Structure 1
Amino acid sequence: AMYASWIQNPDSFDVLDDTPSTSGSPTEYEEGNGHGKKAESPKICAICGDEASGLNYEVASCYGCKSFFRRCLQIQKRFVCNNEGQCKAVISKAARLRCRGCRFDRCVELGMNPLAVNAVKDKDTNKLVHEVLRRQRQLAKQASSFSSALMPISKPIECRYDRIIEEMLYLDEAHQRLRRSQFNPHASPTISLDWVLLGPSRMSIDFGDMPIVYPPPPLHHPFVPMQIRIRDRIPMPPKPLEPPAPTFKKWVMVDLIYTVEWLKTFDFFHRLDEKEKFQLVKNVTQMVTILTAAFYSYEVKGSDVTVMPDGQYLIEGELPREATIERANNFDIIERLKSIRMDRKEYVLLKAIMACDPDHECFCPESRQSLQNQRELFTKSLMSYVLARRGPTKGPLAVTQMLSLLTWQKRVVRKHKDLYVLLLALNLGGPWLPPVMLEVYST
C-alpha cells in the first residue's frame, strides 16, 4: 500500500532514474538560486535527506530529486499515493522510490520552482506546471495567514513562552541524566506499570552515572525484525541463563520507564485520576521514548541510527526490506530530524506536545480539556520560537513539518502495537517479557 501508481501508463521509466541527466541547462544551479552567483552549497537534500548537490530550482536538493522533479514536468506524468499521502512524512534516501506521489508532493511543498526548470519547454501550456504553481500559491496563502495570526505577540506572552522553553530544557536534561544513570531495573514480573507509577518522579534522585564499558555489551540474542518474526513464526528467545552484567541495560524496557519518570514531573499528569494516568502512559510513552532516543543520537552522537548513551545499538546488521517498523524507529526518524534541522528547543517543545495527547475515550471532559489546553500552550510556544528562529517565510513550513512528524510517529507506533499484539496472539512473545512492556505496547 506504500507504493504509488500511475494516473496514466508511462511510456518509459526514465522519470524514475535518480542519475543526473545532461539534458538540463548547465546553469540551472545559478538560475535556481535566483541570484547572479552561487550561494554556499547546502549539505542535506530537503526532499529525501541525501547529500545535496546545491540549490536546485530554489530548494536544497540532491541530483536524484532534482532530476525526478524536472522529468515529471517534462513528460507531464503525475503520481498519486495509494496511502492517502500518509507516507509523505517518511520520504528518505532509502525509501524515496517507494512512493513517487509523496516524493513529488514534497518537491512541490518545499518550494521547487517549476519556472526555474530550463529543460521544460512551453511552460504556458504545461498542465503540470500550472498545477504546481496553483498548489504553491495555496501553500503561500496558508503560510501568510498562519504567520500573521502569530506575529503580533506581546512581550509578556513572549516571556511566558521563553519560560516554558527553559523548563522543558531543564526537564529534558534531567531525563537524559536518568538515561545515563545507574538506575537500571532488570526485567522481572514485578516491573509493572503500577510499580513505575508509584511515588514521585525518580528524576529527582541522583543515582550517579553508569560506568561506560568499551566495547558496549552486545545484544543477548540475534536481532530479528518483528515482521519477519511473525512471518516465519520465530518465537522470542528464552531468558538468558546468566544474569546480565550490572552495567547492561535492556533499553527496550528501561527507556520506557525513564520516559514515564519524565512524564510524572508534569502538573497536568497529576490532575488525572489513576485510570487516566495509566491510559496516558500507554498513549504517549513509546512515541516520546523513540523521539528522545532519536534526537540524542542525532544531536549528541551525530549518528544516522539510534544509539544509546552506553553506546549500545538496538539493531544489528543491514535491515531487510520487511523491517519497516525498525527502519522507521531507528533510521527514518533521524533522517526526518536532519531534514527539518531541528534544534534542541524545538525538540523539547515537540516532545512536550506529544505528552499531552487527549485522544482517548477514557478521559473525562475536564481531563481532556486540561490536556488539550496544555498541548495548545506548548504548540503556541513552538510556533513562537520557530517563527523567531526561522522567520515568517520558512517558519510556518517548519512548524508544519514538525507537527506532521508527530502524526507520522503516532501512526508508526500504532502499527508497532498491532504487530506486538499479533506476536503475542501467535504465542511468539516468550515468557520473559516484563509486564511494563506488555502494558505499554498493548492497544
Structure 2
Amino acid sequence: MIQTKCLLSVAEKCDLAADHQDTKTKLPKIWYLLNFLTSTEYIKTFPFFHKLSSNDQYVLARYVILPCFNLHNSYFSISKKYDTCLQPDGAKEPTEEDRHYSFDVKAVGPLIRCQIELIEYILLKAICISQLQLRCQSCRYKKCIEVGMNSKALELNETEKEALNFKKLAEVEKEQLEFPTIQAIISKENQNKTIIDMLCYLELKIDQFKNSAYNPLVIDYMKTTEELVTRKSILCLADHLGPMSGWPINRKVELPKVSRMRDVPDIDMKYSGPPARPIFSPANQKMWMFFNMMTTIEYAKTFNFLQKLDLNDQIVLVGQTTLLCMNLHNSYYAVSRKMEKCMHPDGTEQPQRDEYHYPVVSMALAPLIRCDIQPIEYILLKAIGLCNPTVHGLSEHGQTIIAKERQQFSDVLLDHCLRNRSDGPSRFVELLGIISVLLRQQRLQKDIHIYHISPIISRFPFPVQFLDEIMYS
C-alpha cells in the first residue's frame, strides 16, 4: 500500500461518477478500514517520506497511521459539534455499545477542552508524523525485564489472565527459570582490547598483502571503484602466493622531463600482449601508486559497518577516505623504520626528493615524527580517518552508522591515551590534529592529479578508472 500510487486524486473522478449513479446501488463504506487507508495516503503526500528507504517507510507508517487516524476522526467529530465518533455519512461509528468505544473517543475530550483550531489541528497532525518517537513494545518489554520488572506482578483482570499471549509469556518465563542463560559481562577495558587486537591483526594482514607476490593485472587497474568495492576480498591471496621474491630492488629510473614523476612516463605507452600481463614487465615490480590505493580499498572492506551502508554510501566513503588512509599508512611505514623518505616494501623510494609531487606526498612524515606516534595510536587513528561521517554525499542513514563507528574508535583512542600517558587528553588532541594534515594533503594530491597528472595519463592505452573516480570525488 505504501509503494502504490497516491489514491487521493481518485476522489475527483468518483465525485463525477457519483452524480450519475443510482443511490440504491451505492454500497456503505467500511469507515474503520477506509480511515486507515486515508491516513496512509496522507503520509505519502509528504516529500520527506519518499526520501526514506522502503524499510524506514514501512516502520514509520506502522507507528503514525493510528495517531493520524484518531486525531482526524476526533477533530472531525468536534468540528461538527459532536462529542462522539461521527463519520462523514452521518454514521456514529463506533457506538457506545461497541467494546472499543472508550478507546476511540479518548482524544475527543482533550480537543474539546483546548478548543483546538483548524490550523492548530493540521500542524499537530503533521508533527505526529515528523517528530513521533518510535518505540518498539517488544524491545521496551525486554528492557523492563532486564532491569528487574516482574511480569507476574501485572494488574490483570480475569479476562486478561486467560489471554493467549499472557499464557505464552508465563510458559516462556517458566522455561527461563528451569534453563537460565548465563550472560557474559564484558568490561569496557576488554571491549577496547578486542578492538585493538582486531585492528592489529588487520594491519598485519595488510602488510603481508603488500609484501606478497600478488601483482595486479592490467584488467584490475581498469576496474571502477564500484567493482573494487563489491568484489570479494583479495587479502587472502597473500597466504596463497607467499612473499615476493627478488626484493629489495635496486634500480634507478631517470626523471621524466614533462611529468617530473617517475610513476608517470612522458611517452605514450604502447600496450600489447594478453590482458593478464602486469603493467610492468618485471614480475616483482609493483606500481605502488595504484597498488596502495587498491590495498586501502581492501582495508576499508574488512570493516563490518561498511556492509551496513548502501552501495552509493560505500562508494562515496571510499572515494573520500582512500587517499587519507593510504597516506597515513605509507608515512607510518617509513617513520616506523626510522626513515624520513617515502619508502615501500620492495626497498624503492617513491617519490624521490627531485620529483614534482614529493613535498605533498611527504607532508605527513613530519607530524608523525614530531609526535612519535606509537603502533596502537596509529591503527586507531587510521580507523578514525576511515570513519568520516562529514563526507559530502552520504545519506543520513550512512552518516548515523559512520558517526557511531568513529565515536567508538575515538573512545578507544582516548582511553588508551589516558591509561598510558600522563598527558592523556593533550596527547589525544595532538593525534587527532594529524587528521587535519592528512585532509589537506589529500586535497593537494587531488589538485595535482587534476591539473598535472590527468592530462598525461589520459594518453595511456588503458584507463585507470578507479584512480580518476577517487581523485575527482
* TM-score bracket for this pair, using the shorter chain length: 0.5 to 0.7
Report matched runs for 1:174-213 at 5 Å: 174-188=205-219, 190-205=222-237, 206=239, 207-213=241-247
The answer on 1:313 being equivalent to 2:346 is no
- 8 Å CA contact 2:223–2:464 kept in 1: the answer is yes
- 8 Å CA contact 1:253–1:436 kept in 2: the answer is no
Q: Partners in 2 of 1:344 and 1:240 — Cα distance? A: 43
> Per the alignment, do residues 214 and 169 of structure 1 end up closer, same or farther by CA in structure 2, a change over 3 Å counting?
closer
How far off is 1:370 after superposition? 0.5
Q: Partners in 1 of 2:298 and 2:383 — Cα distance? A: 14
- 8 Å CA contact 1:287–1:409 kept in 2: the answer is yes
How far off is 1:317 after superposition? 4.3
Give the AA of the match of 1:420.
Answer: H
- 8 Å CA contact 2:360–2:445 kept in 1: the answer is no
Q: Partners in 1 of 2:257 and 2:314 — Cα distance? A: 33
Report matched runs for 1:385-424 at 5 Å: 385-391=416-422, 394-423=423-452
Which of structure 1's runs of 4+ aligned residues deviate more than 6 A? none
Greater C-alpha Rg? 2
How far off is 1:411 after superposition? 1.6
- 8 Å CA contact 2:256–2:266 kept in 1: the answer is no
* Structure 2 length-normalised TM: 0.54
Partner of 2:48: none
How far off is 1:429 after superposition? 4.3
Q: Secondary structure at the match of 1:380?
A: helix
Partner of 1:326: 358
Q: Partners in 1 of 2:265 and 2:211 — Cα distance? A: 31
Q: Partners in 1 of 2:318 and 2:349 — Cα distance? A: 25
How far off is 1:316 after superposition? 2.6
Q: Partners in 2 of 1:264 and 1:404 — Cα distance? A: 25
Report matched runs for 1:224-235 at 5 Å: none
The answer on 1:354 being equivalent to 2:388 is no
- 8 Å CA contact 1:217–1:248 kept in 2: the answer is no
How far off is 1:442 after superposition? 1.4
- 8 Å CA contact 1:191–1:434 kept in 2: the answer is yes
Report matched runs for 1:50-61 at 5 Å: none
The two structures, once aligned, show a CA RMSD in angstroms of 2.7
Partner of 2:250: 216
The answer on 1:436 being equivalent to 2:466 is yes
How far off is 1:336 after superposition? 1.4
> Per the alignment, do residues 361 and 162 of structure 1 end up closer, same or farther by CA in structure 2, a change over 3 Å counting?
same
Partner of 1:165: 196
**Structure 1 residues not aligned, in runs of 5+:** 1-153
Give the AA of the match of 1:192.
Answer: T
How far off is 1:202 after superposition? 1.6
How far off is 1:427 after superposition? 6.1
> Per the alignment, do residues 225 and 390 of structure 1 end up closer, same or farther by CA in structure 2, a change over 3 Å counting?
farther
How far off is 1:363 after superposition? 1.7
Q: 2:338 aligns with which of 298, 302, 310?
A: 302
Q: Partners in 2 of 1:224 and 1:195 — Cα distance? A: 35
Deviations 1:237-287 (A, max 9, x none): 432669520111000001100111111110111111111111111111111
Give the number of the structure whose residues are more often helix, by fraction: 2
**Larger displacement relative to structure 2 (382-391 or 249-258):** 382-391
- 8 Å CA contact 1:200–1:264 kept in 2: the answer is no
The answer on 1:239 being equivalent to 2:276 is no
> Per the alignment, do residues 424 and 365 of structure 1 end up closer, same or farther by CA in structure 2, a change over 3 Å counting?
same
How far off is 1:294 after superposition? 1.1
Q: Partners in 2 of 1:287 and 1:180 — Cα distance? A: 21
Deviations 1:316-338 (A, max 9, x none): 3446xxx5x522422x3222111
Deviations 1:44-98 (A, max 9, x none): xxxxxxxxxxxxxxxxxxxxxxxxxxxxxxxxxxxxxxxxxxxxxxxxxxxxxxx
Give the AA of the match of 2:229.
Answer: L
Q: Share of identical aligned residues, percent?
A: 20
- 8 Å CA contact 1:236–1:430 kept in 2: the answer is no
Give the AA of the match of 1:418.
Answer: D
Q: Secondary structure at the match of 2:412?
A: helix
> Per the alignment, do residues 436 and 386 of structure 1 end up closer, same or farther by CA in structure 2, a change over 3 Å counting?
same
> Per the alignment, do residues 158 and 440 of structure 1 end up closer, same or farther by CA in structure 2, a change over 3 Å counting?
same
Report matched runs for 1:17-28 at 5 Å: none
Q: Partners in 1 of 2:295 and 2:334 — Cα distance? A: 16
Higher RCO (CA 8 Å, separation ≥ 6 residues)? 1
Q: Partners in 2 of 1:317 and 1:309 — Cα distance? A: 18
Q: Partners in 1 of 2:382 and 2:285 — Cα distance? A: 27
Partner of 1:258: 295
Q: Secondary structure at the match of 2:232?
A: coil
Q: Secondary structure at the match of 2:206?
A: helix
Deviations 1:322-363 (A, max 9, x none): x5x522422x32221111111100000000001111123422
> Per the alignment, do residues 185 and 215 of structure 1 end up closer, same or farther by CA in structure 2, a change over 3 Å counting?
closer
